[in-house]
Amino acid sequence: MAAVFPKGFFWGGATAANQLEGAWDADGRGPSVDDHFTGGSYERPREITLEIDPDKLYPNHDGIDFYHRYEEDIALFAEMGCNMLRMSISWSRIFPNGDDAEPNEAGLAFYDRVFDCCHAHGIEPLVTMSHYEMPYHLVEKYDGWASRELIGLFERYAKTILDRYHGKVTYWLTFNEINCGTMDMGNLFETSMIQGYEGPASGVHTTFQDRYQALHHQFVASGRAIRYAHESYPTLRMGNMDCFILSYAATCDPADILLNQQQMRQMNWYCSDVQVRGYYPSYARRFWRDHGIELDIGPGDLDDLEEGTIDFYAFSYYMSNVVGTHGVEQSAGNMTFGGKNPYLQSTDWGWQIDPDGLRFSLNEIWDRYQIPVMVVENGMGARDEVAEDGSVHDPYRIAYLRSHVKAMGEAVDDGVDLVAYTWWGPIDLVSAGTGEMRKRYGFVYVDKHDDGTGTLERRRKDSFFAYQRIIRSNGTEGLE
Ligand code: BG6
């Protein structure tokens, strides 16, 4: 029998401003870090250019033009049955340079319109304050999150949007995939993408010291935003957002088990332990010592962590990987590489598909924290073909969706307090990792291509109707 999702469960989709809005320089918006990323592909990493080069293509500049088409898109999400839309606010739409004296009213007004439109369709917005972007000026002038100054600048931005939208937005996330800041991804594009702190203006910060110091600044900034929200608007619910990459020990060799424990702590638990509990976990001390990290902790920082804890735990889940001490074949994945698992299939981009891993992760998270949990990204990037009659048949995406919804149902049955599921990219949008359009996640197809051409017309894929059926039955039908 299919598991029963709780009444009032949120079903929806998840997006990020820089990957779909476009209109990068409209109505007073300033350039953000992502506007300096060129297009790329699986084989060819995106470049970052310090100046905008007219001979190169920057796919985030136009996105899928949600800025002008949000009404049509939100109506499509509503037609699918979504009652939640995860979206982010573009920081540089509100503060074009990040350190401006006054916010940009036109930018604020845009999100008023979007939130109003959501509510008109019975859709609850779930808003990320910073989804892999910041005003580019903050990277040039302050070196992004390497600087303590960013804490105050983010705090002002957060207060501005909380004051403006607290009546329209109840659910908030501070930083997207904050834990990706722990990783040394070793190339300019990816490290630069992480919240913008690895600024192109200053070179790449690949040392543990730099990464963990930048993360500390983000923890404090997040804590201050949450503290302010709780004090000023007690009905708001504030969450983190972690990129949960489950890893398995490759063998039962105790050395592999220990290695995996360390991997899980560094990748998956370090940030949320701070954000849920309000203090650094005890294993952090040894980790810092072993990696030569000496955190500069300012007066009041630890109070901000303690008083800025989250109300719910939110995470992205796409895949799992394997770690071991005996040599493990490598596989690609979300923001990272990891070991290949012989029991799993992979997407065309090498991400290992593991619905049971989602059930396992949900149980681990719930057992550890005992606060409501949201899956705020999950999905599958794939190449889609438009048939002659205009339809898009995507059985692979439907299979991925069903298997992960089933896994969530099992987790609910296991006792996990799961309250929301927002599929990544309910509509095709620009890939964060590769800048491609052909790596499609959507239930809605967008006629836009890697070379920037396309009519931008939207069309419903088969998966649109599959998700609709799941939502209509609150997860009890459409899983076969
Ligand atoms: C998540 C990010 O890690 O993965 C999204 O939060 C991103 O921004 C998603 O788009 C999928 O990754 P990609 O590289 O396939 O777009």
In the structure encoding, which two tokens stand for residue 229, read together? 């929200």
In this predicted structure, the answer to whether residue 23 has a pLDDT above a threshold of 70 is yes
> How much is the average pLDDT of 330-353?
86
pTM: 0.96
In this predicted structure, the answer to whether residue 193 has a pLDDT above a threshold of 50 is no
> How much is the average pLDDT of 432-438?
93
C-alpha span between 295 and 201 (Å, rounded)? 23
238 touches ligand 1 (CB under 6 Å): no
In this predicted structure, the answer to whether residue 201 has a pLDDT above a threshold of 80 is no
Which atom of ligand 1 sits closest to the CA of residue 177? 6
Mean pLDDT over the full length of the chain: 93
Q: Which of 102-106, 337-341, 470-474 has the lowest mean pLDDT?
A: 337-341
Distance 436 CA to ligand 1 centre (A): 11
Residue indicated by tokens 């020990």? 249
| DSSP-based three-state secondary structure for 427 | strand
381 touches ligand 1 (CB under 6 Å): yes
| Residue 123 CA, distance from chain mean position | 19
Q: Considering only CA atoms, which of 466, 471, 448 is closest in space to residue 458? A: 448
Q: Considering only CA atoms, which of 9, 11, 37, 146 is closest in space to residue 466? A: 11
Distance 15 CA to ligand 1 centre (A): 9
Which of residues 206 and 269 earns the better pLDDT score? 269
Task: Write 292-301 long-range contacts (CB < 8 A, 24+).
Answer: 292/208, 292/209, 293/208, 293/209, 293/212, 293/213, 294/209, 295/212, 295/213, 295/216, 296/148, 296/213, 296/216, 297/216, 298/148, 298/220, 301/216, 301/220
Confidence of residue 46 (pLDDT cuts 50, 70, 90): confident
Pocket test for ligand 1, best of 41, 130, 424 (most atoms within 8 A of CB): 424
End-to-end CA distance of the chain: give it in Å, rounded: 11
Confidence of residue 47 (pLDDT cuts 50, 70, 90): confident
Q: Which of 208-217, 258-267, 278-287 has the lowest mean pLDDT?
A: 208-217
C-alpha span between 383 and 89 (Å, rounded)? 28
> How much is the average pLDDT of 435-463?
97
pLDDT at residue 333 in the model:
73
In this predicted structure, the answer to whether residue 200 has a pLDDT above a threshold of 50 is no
Q: Which of 105-109, 178-182, 296-300, 333-337 has the lowest mean pLDDT?
A: 333-337
pLDDT at residue 4 in the model:
84
pLDDT at residue 206 in the model:
66
- Please, which residues bridge with residue 339 across strands? 322, 330
pLDDT at residue 3 in the model:
63
pLDDT at residue 406 in the model:
98
pLDDT at residue 465 in the model:
98
Confidence of residue 196 (pLDDT cuts 50, 70, 90): very low
In this predicted structure, the answer to whether residue 42 has a pLDDT above a threshold of 60 is yes
Neighbours of 417 (CB within 10 A): 16
pLDDT at residue 351 in the model:
93
In this predicted structure, the answer to whether residue 127 has a pLDDT above a threshold of 80 is yes
Domain boundaries along the sequence of the chain: 10-473
CATH domain 10-473 topology: TIM Barrel (3.20.20)
C-alpha span between 27 and 316 (Å, rounded)? 32
- Asked if 343 and 357 touch (Cβ cutoff 8 Å), the reply is no
Distance 431 CA to ligand 1 centre (A): 6
Pocket test for ligand 1, best of 20, 187, 334 (most atoms within 8 A of CB): 334
C-alpha span between 7 and 156 (Å, rounded)? 37
422 touches ligand 1 (CB under 6 Å): no
Distance 110 CA to ligand 1 centre (A): 24
Radius of gyration of the chain (CA): 21
Q: Which residues form the catalytic set?
A: 177, 377
- Asked if 322 and 241 touch (Cβ cutoff 8 Å), the reply is no
Confidence of residue 439 (pLDDT cuts 50, 70, 90): very high
pLDDT at residue 185 in the model:
56
Q: Mind listing the pLDDT tens digit for each residue in 140-174?
A: 898 889 899 999 999 999 999 999 999 999 999 99
Neighbours of 186 (CB within 10 A): 10
Q: Considering only CA atoms, which of 88, 124, 169 is closest in space to residue 11? A: 124
In the structure encoding, which two tokens stand for residue 453, read together? 């051409």
377 touches ligand 1 (CB under 6 Å): yes
DSSP string, 217-263: HHHHHHHHHHHHHHHH-TT-EEE--EE--EEEESSS-HHHHHHHHHH
Closest residue CA from atom 8 of ligand 1: 432
